[in-house]
Amino acid sequence: MKTVVVTGGNRGIGRAVARELITRGCRVVLHARDRARGERALEELRGAGPGEVTLVTGDLSTKRGIRETADAILAACPRIDVLIHNAGLWPSERILNEDGLEMAFVVNHLAPFMLNHLLEARLVESRSRVVQVSAGLYVKGRPDLEKTPTGEDFQPLGTYPTTKLCNLLLVPRFAARWKERGPTILALHPGVIRTGLGDRKGMLGRLLRVVKRLWKSPEEGARPVVRLALDPALDGVTGRYYHLDVETELLPIARDEALAAKLWSQAEKLSEVLEAG
């Protein structure tokens, strides 16, 4: 039975991914920020199929919470066949966490970076596949290394794509780091999906809710994620980006190696993750 960790698994695409994985007989370790919301999701998901589901909790918007999450995952998973970085945040305003960092920068970019490091030994032992749920909107990202971490360049529409781009820029670097060590990493855009992502109050929020009725269901968003997680044809394939099921070359902005190198060393400093070698 494959063990698959799904971050942000209590709603939206993550919950639909968890359901499909249970249907296919996986042991899902469902991560949720909030225990009560996680328990509710578990109640809904139990019995969805022959697989199993257990809960781990942790807040991915602070360094402390990310470390707690990593510890909880390690305690729950003697092996990790697949790690799906799905949790994501599209905030409408600049909010700083207890570390003085902007929330979307942490949840979308720093958290996967830190989890990849904190779980690295287990990922290597398990020869895991890591799936990074990215977003086609990365093309709109404009990172400013000085301002983005603390949200001084915060924009309600611009910060989400920027933080997703920061995250995506580091995928090839993890692929290269793990090349001879076992783990692989793949990223994808899951489609434009009707979930709570980016929900907000006021006129814009009401308009968005109307527009979202036309978007695809979470189940449709889950399908390409589950494919990347389980397809045996992708064994050994690493560092690639998929638009839904189609392998797609990233635009130059996401292949800027100099920018990626700067983001990597910045993330190391910000997260205080020790270089494991």
Chain residues in the site for ligand NAP (CB under 6 A):
8, 10-14, 33-34, 37, 59-61, 86-89, 107, 133, 135, 189-190, 192-193, 195-197
Around 75, how many Cα atoms within 13 Å sit in the side-chain half-sphere? 11
**Catalytic residue (one of 138, 160, 241, 242):** 160
Could you tell me the smallest distance in angstroms from the CB atom of residue 11 to ligand NAP? Answer: 5
Is the Cβ of residue 72 or residue 259 nearer to ligand NAP in the bound state?
Answer: 72
In angstroms, the CA 166 to CA 161 distance is 9
CB of 125 to ligand NAP, least distance (A): 25
Q: Minimum distance from CB of 159 to ligand NAP (Å)?
A: 12
242 as an active site residue: the answer is no
Longest pairwise C-alpha distance within the chain: 52
Nearer to ligand NAP, 193 or 230 (CB): 193
Minimum CB–partner distance for residue 222 and ligand NAP (Å): 9
DSSP letters along 219-269, please?
A: HHHHHHHHHHHH-GGGTT--SEEEETTEE-PPPGGGG-HHHHHHHHHHHHH
**Distance between CA atoms of residues 257 and 253, nearest Å:** 9
Give the residue with the Cβ less far from ligand NAP, 61 or 184: 61
How many residues make up the chain in this entry? 277
Backbone angles phi, psi at 101, to 5 degrees: -105, 150
| Catalytic residue positions, numbered | 160
